[in-house]
Chains A and B, each alone.
Chain A
């Protein structure tokens, strides 16, 4: 019997989800994270969940892991000291970056400029030059390369990055420097930009290569430490990591290409939502992952999440594919305040974080937060099921009252105002990934998860017109579920940059086939059987002269059959959909991309016992909450006692170990066969 164990390490909690691959039965566990060494928390969790499920560590075939180790190394500047070798004349490439100052007019006055990821004193240049066609314009100068590398050796860098101008068309000089580096700085890992990212744009390629080099030692230490501890426990299965794009990669490969796991954390929620959607029969989903300080949103269309070509980490935008997850500074800990000059009500982005946290948590917080407003309104009942602490309702009331006084409105109106504004901020982020990308949110369901997602999902669904609002099974550990249920993935891309009129379909086919062969070798090396590999191809097209391309998925068959013309017709249709117009300008084929996927898992979800439609057996108690401008009677239910087919009339609250679902008045929740609560407008209610 095989088990898969999903492990998601968050800032506060480490979530685990153990999944029986045959029966679909699962166990979940939450344990405090151990930021000084997250493997400790993981081990604690593994011990606990194995005991709970009565399985031994060596029954676990796969341990699948979403981690923020790489993310934090970048955000906290704890990566390795990277030496950067670049082309003569380009020493300040990281210092100048794209010259961009975020914010509006005069924002430069208050913009704190971040330090480059490779320090300028550790950046050296080498003579020799390729032109834009890959021809050697000036020969490689070995003497200057030796001198440069020797300087870096003296400075004591821990990793080397080589990124030369136009290396994306010809990496020969980079390769030569790589060889010299191995000789002059033996044992120091070397990353070459044309290998990490063979794409145009020197700053982005350099940054990506540097980011990769900077997090490599951190990720490598972390993984070898984790592997050792797991082995001591008796774990003998395969350790894989969740990539930013929602696929898995073996831990060995992640050590070499950690740039692909920079957004491993948020990707887990999206892959979890995919699995839930598959089992609930819902194909179009907007995800709403509400944490303590921020909310992540993403879009899934036809069970395929939207991906983007960049990974945003802090102020850095790295060229590695990731799920298109947008983050807003709106979460349970977001602080509500009223600035003196405008007397407006603002919520976030400042957050009370985990410490001191919301006032209601009684850990020393004094400023009113979203969680406090939820407590005041009665949406978060005082005695949380299984919760080890009691909420301080009086404290929360006092804090929210300060907002009410500053605005000159009553307590409940202020509390609801805080909730409305934070919901609006989430709504804004969701619009960015839906309406703005040409998707109609009314064709999507909205799934809320993370600690506080199910509290807000109903209200945000109303704003979006996205029904049903879904509170998935185990919303508090959905990321771990996502880690456990996704599949292997790898991809590669190449710059092409030719007018479509000068392009033959056969030529594109040849390049795609080369890329396919390369990816197959990679996945086979990662333990996937060649016959299980599924390939996907994408071609980026734009009107020549535009800066943004539209990626079009394509099969080898379609490319042969419909040729380049077929591709262009699809581009025109997509451009019209996105931007409402077409042009007579020639088309340009910009990039080619290939994706290889491991076997799709057919993991069943466990069914709940059938009920009679009434949730009465799960009722815990009657309750009062504030909604629609008045106090209303509501009922609190215990989620673990709900059965399939139960219908819950709002207003109601459903509680479980680590999350609370709010069903608003005028709405009805129904429990599906596998335990998801699908909330819809009650008949006759208006959105």
Chain B
């Protein structure tokens, strides 16, 4: 099966030598077109997830489907190989099923629109964008059931279909799709927004081809890919060794009692190629935390991390793909077999980035960042308000950014690009709740000469009875510190009744009833620390006590003895620092905190939650 592309003009493009100036102009223009896609999207989308928080990703690809601008890499090549149908002028593809596009989108909630761009009868480019829909039906509000056993429980599944066919809109299809969701108004608006964004990109590409000539435009895109290939080749040769480097990290649990799940990646260079091998990663979960990881997407993540860590000047596209070989065992957490449930993939998606950071910085600790990618903590709250109207809230939270070579990790900021929080006054106006507290959680950032960012302590007071669901991670396995920095604190959730009684709530829970006046403390993880905490300026630690970012007790981790008003006892500090120095051993490159078995033993005492049980796989072994 492979897509059949129908062109009315089959003249091949001529390869034309491109001068460097024209090349840069075209690259720049493409980048502007991508910015326009984002701008169009946020201005017209309706679900708070896309509109306020920016959970959507654009790309523009060349005529063969390679990404020229964007950030999640191109899936188009793989899609074309699988798609059993035609593609012609006036068509637009719509899909959401990860299993039909090799994981280009990784759960049913992400709706993707793909527009082949034709000019004078020839296919010259593609634009595509996907965005997270707040609800696509299925058994739970928000469509991400933690305990789903298969993808069939996770809302409407859309295989690649034509939403537009030769310029004609498929109205019946869309009626059918919108009939499945609890929020057709949001879905329709968000889909319109995705389509409008792709069309904007198409207009820009056609204008560019008009301006420079089709052959020049196409040749330029090829040269941009080649240029990126050359740059990445040099960077790989410089930064990646032939010796194997291995890193592993964990997803805390699967929400149905089992965990942690290991993700393991080994990296080495063979000649000019980098191999990234996930052998040793745990098999797929019976619940929904599986993450269908597209190899090309991972290549792009790798490329972006290389660039950000070693040389932020380079612009990235798909040009370097053949320099990287990604191996993911079938049946593993990262390449589950159909019809494994996928909706809770956000935790593994986040964890991938901590693993990348750990791999890339190992040989060059000065470039190493600590850990902090939990996931995107989700809260769902739904019910009927005082007037009897249905409401449903889907909110993404943020934790602490890890300690970095350049300094402290920012407190309560987003690791995801373009995401913002929703103003609390907005929440209070449109939903029956109050936000009683919105502060960072002191001491949650790992101690280090560069402190990890603090997580956020957000307290919701519910003003209508309803149900809540929570998806979070990093509550069991802490975010690690590096170069002597301490791990960050783990995530916690506490439900407080009107009479003051408190119950610890799990970090992956579904359908918890809440009453009027109940308060939920939603506390996220802190980033890991960077560098020896004993080298942090005591005056700064004192100042952070006054600022409410560190407590008097927390200051001890820096070897600092200070009072509530931030005054540092210099003699006591010197003594404490000397004591710690003499009693501790050599500082490790990575500080993961206690070993998994120790975490398990102390779990209930430390977190108030039962330890997850080691998963056992009866039928599948990961590696093929």
Q: Do A and B come from one complex?
A: yes
Among B188, B304, B413, the residue within 8 A (CB) of A101 is B413
Among B23, B408, B414, B547, the residue within 8 A (CB) of A120 is B547
Q: Which candidate, B155-163, B419-427, B496-504, is the interface stretch facing chain A? A: B419-427
Q: Which residues of A contact B32 (CB under 8 A)?
A: 428, 431-432
Among A89, A416, A425, the residue within 8 A (CB) of B28 is A425
| B43:A92 contact, CB within 8 angstroms | no
A424 interface contact, C-beta 8 A = yes
Q: Which candidate, A446-454, A575-583, A612-620, A650-658, is the interface stretch facing chain B? A: A575-583
Chain A stretch 532-558: residues in CB contact (< 8 A) with chain B: 543, 545-548
Chain A stretch 103-153: residues in CB contact (< 8 A) with chain B: 103-113, 120-121, 129, 131-132, 137
Expressed in whole angstroms, the minimum distance between the Cβ of B37 and any Cβ of chain A is 10
| B411:A342 contact, CB within 8 angstroms | no
| A107:B314 contact, CB within 8 angstroms | no
| A96:B415 contact, CB within 8 angstroms | no
| A99:B28 contact, CB within 8 angstroms | no
How many residues of chain B are within 8 Å of chain A by beta carbon?
Answer: 89
| A89:B40 contact, CB within 8 angstroms | no
Chain B stretch 28-67: residues in CB contact (< 8 A) with chain A: 28-29, 32, 35-36, 39-40, 42-47, 51-52
B107 interface contact, C-beta 8 A = no
B509 interface contact, C-beta 8 A = no
| A113:B44 contact, CB within 8 angstroms | no
Expressed in whole angstroms, the minimum distance between the Cβ of A168 and any Cβ of chain B is 7
With both beta carbons as reference points, the residue of chain A lying nearest to B70 in the complex is identified as: A104
Chain B stretch 391-421: residues in CB contact (< 8 A) with chain A: 398, 401, 404, 406-421
| A165:B548 contact, CB within 8 angstroms | no
Expressed in whole angstroms, the minimum distance between the Cβ of B426 and any Cβ of chain A is 6
Q: Which residues of A contact B459 (CB under 8 A)?
A: 89
Q: How far, in angstroms, from A678 to B145 measured CA to CA in the complex?
A: 65
Determine which residue in A131, A168, A547, A580 has the highest number of CB atoms from chain B within 10 A of its CB, and name it.
A547
Q: How far, in angstroms, from A109 to B407 measured CA to CA in the complex?
A: 10
Contact with A along B276-301 (1 / 0, CB 8 A): 00000000000000000000000001
**Given A110-B308, A165-B425, are A421 and B438 neighbors across the interface (CB < 8 Å)?**
no
| A343:B189 contact, CB within 8 angstroms | no
| B24:A545 contact, CB within 8 angstroms | no
Expressed in whole angstroms, the minimum distance between the Cβ of B462 and any Cβ of chain A is 13
Q: Which residues of A contact B196 (CB under 8 A)?
A: 579-581
Chain A stretch 552-609: residues in CB contact (< 8 A) with chain B: 578-581, 583, 585
Q: How far, in angstroms, from A159 to B300 measured CA to CA in the complex?
A: 49
**Given A106-B304, A131-B434, A421-B24, are A121 and B547 neighbors across the interface (CB < 8 Å)?**
yes
Q: How far, in angstroms, from A8 to B190 measured CA to CA in the complex?
A: 46
Among A107, A416, A543, the residue within 8 A (CB) of B308 is A107
Expressed in whole angstroms, the minimum distance between the Cβ of A626 and any Cβ of chain B is 14
A407 interface contact, C-beta 8 A = yes
A346 interface contact, C-beta 8 A = yes
| B420:A580 contact, CB within 8 angstroms | no
With both beta carbons as reference points, the residue of chain B lying nearest to A581 in the complex is identified as: B192
Q: How far, in angstroms, from A339 to B549 measured CA to CA in the complex?
A: 40
B185 interface contact, C-beta 8 A = yes
A13 interface contact, C-beta 8 A = no
**Given A425-B28, A548-B43, are A132 and B429 neighbors across the interface (CB < 8 Å)?**
yes
Q: How far, in angstroms, from A432 to B459 measured CA to CA in the complex?
A: 39
A303 interface contact, C-beta 8 A = no
Expressed in whole angstroms, the minimum distance between the Cβ of A231 and any Cβ of chain B is 44
| A105:B304 contact, CB within 8 angstroms | yes
B82 interface contact, C-beta 8 A = no
Expressed in whole angstroms, the minimum distance between the Cβ of A118 and any Cβ of chain B is 12
Among A200, A413, A425, A578, the residue within 8 A (CB) of B19 is A413
**Given A104-B417, A547-B51, are A95 and B434 neighbors across the interface (CB < 8 Å)?**
no
| B401:A89 contact, CB within 8 angstroms | no
Q: Which candidate, B113-121, B227-235, B476-484, is the interface stretch facing chain A? A: B227-235
Q: Which residues of A contact B435 (CB under 8 A)?
A: 89, 165
A301 interface contact, C-beta 8 A = no
| B425:A166 contact, CB within 8 angstroms | yes
Determine which residue in B20, B189, B196, B426 has the highest number of CB atoms from chain A within 10 A of its CB, and name it.
B20
Q: Which residues of B contact A107 (CB under 8 A)?
A: 308, 417
Q: Which residues of A contact B413 (CB under 8 A)?
A: 96-97, 99-101, 108, 113
Expressed in whole angstroms, the minimum distance between the Cβ of A276 and any Cβ of chain B is 28
| A99:B421 contact, CB within 8 angstroms | yes
B523 interface contact, C-beta 8 A = no
Q: Which residues of A contact B546 (CB under 8 A)?
A: 121
With both beta carbons as reference points, the residue of chain A lying nearest to B396 in the complex is identified as: A99
| B199:A580 contact, CB within 8 angstroms | yes
A524 interface contact, C-beta 8 A = no
| B301:A497 contact, CB within 8 angstroms | no
| B46:A585 contact, CB within 8 angstroms | yes
| B407:A424 contact, CB within 8 angstroms | no
Expressed in whole angstroms, the minimum distance between the Cβ of A681 and any Cβ of chain B is 16
A55 interface contact, C-beta 8 A = no
Determine which residue in A96, A203, A436 has the highest number of CB atoms from chain B within 10 A of its CB, and name it.
A96
**Given A98-B420, A547-B51, are A417 and B21 neighbors across the interface (CB < 8 Å)?**
yes
| A110:B313 contact, CB within 8 angstroms | no
With both beta carbons as reference points, the residue of chain A lying nearest to B48 in the complex is identified as: A547
Q: Which residues of B contact A548 (CB under 8 A)?
A: 42-44
Expressed in whole angstroms, the minimum distance between the Cβ of A490 and any Cβ of chain B is 26
| B29:A424 contact, CB within 8 angstroms | yes
| B20:A409 contact, CB within 8 angstroms | yes
B456 interface contact, C-beta 8 A = yes
Among B40, B71, B412, B423, the residue within 8 A (CB) of A200 is B423
B181 interface contact, C-beta 8 A = no
Expressed in whole angstroms, the minimum distance between the Cβ of B238 and any Cβ of chain A is 9
A341 interface contact, C-beta 8 A = yes
Q: Which residues of A contact B39 (CB under 8 A)?
A: 436
Q: How far, in angstroms, from A497 to B47 measured CA to CA in the complex?
A: 17
Contact with A along B292-324 (1 / 0, CB 8 A): 000000000100110011011111000000000
Q: Which residues of B contact A388 (CB under 8 A)?
A: none
A502 interface contact, C-beta 8 A = no
A345 interface contact, C-beta 8 A = yes
Expressed in whole angstroms, the minimum distance between the Cβ of A579 and any Cβ of chain B is 5
With both beta carbons as reference points, the residue of chain A lying nearest to B28 in the complex is identified as: A424
Expressed in whole angstroms, the minimum distance between the Cβ of A438 and any Cβ of chain B is 10
Expressed in whole angstroms, the minimum distance between the Cβ of A74 and any Cβ of chain B is 20
B590 interface contact, C-beta 8 A = no
Q: Which residues of A contact B438 (CB under 8 A)?
A: 89-90, 92-93, 96
**Given A92-B440, A92-B548, A99-B398, are A345 and B189 neighbors across the interface (CB < 8 Å)?**
no
Q: Which residues of A contact B547 (CB under 8 A)?
A: 95, 120-121
| A585:B189 contact, CB within 8 angstroms | yes
A91 interface contact, C-beta 8 A = yes
B186 interface contact, C-beta 8 A = yes
Expressed in whole angstroms, the minimum distance between the Cβ of A406 and any Cβ of chain B is 10
A158 interface contact, C-beta 8 A = no
Q: Which residues of B contact A431 (CB under 8 A)?
A: 32, 36
A202 interface contact, C-beta 8 A = yes
| A428:B227 contact, CB within 8 angstroms | no
Determine which residue in B39, B44, B424, B425 has the highest number of CB atoms from chain A within 10 A of its CB, and name it.
B425
A201 interface contact, C-beta 8 A = yes
| B428:A341 contact, CB within 8 angstroms | no
Q: How far, in angstroms, from A137 to B311 measured CA to CA in the complex?
A: 52
| B428:A420 contact, CB within 8 angstroms | no
Contact with B along A165-187 (1 / 0, CB 8 A): 11010000000000000000000
Determine which residue in A98, A101, A120, A416 has the highest number of CB atoms from chain B within 10 A of its CB, and name it.
A101
The 7 closest A-B pairs by CB, nearest first: A89-B437, A417-B21, A545-B46, A120-B547, A132-B428, A106-B308, A341-B231
A–B Cβ pairs within 8 angstroms, 12 of them: A98-B421, A100-B418, A104-B71, A106-B305, A121-B543, A202-B424, A341-B230, A342-B315, A424-B28, A545-B46, A545-B51, A583-B188
Q: Beyond the given A92-B411, A106-B353, could you list 6 further A-B residue pairs with CB under 8 A, ordered by the A residue number?
A: A104-B304, A105-B71, A108-B415, A112-B407, A131-B434, A585-B46
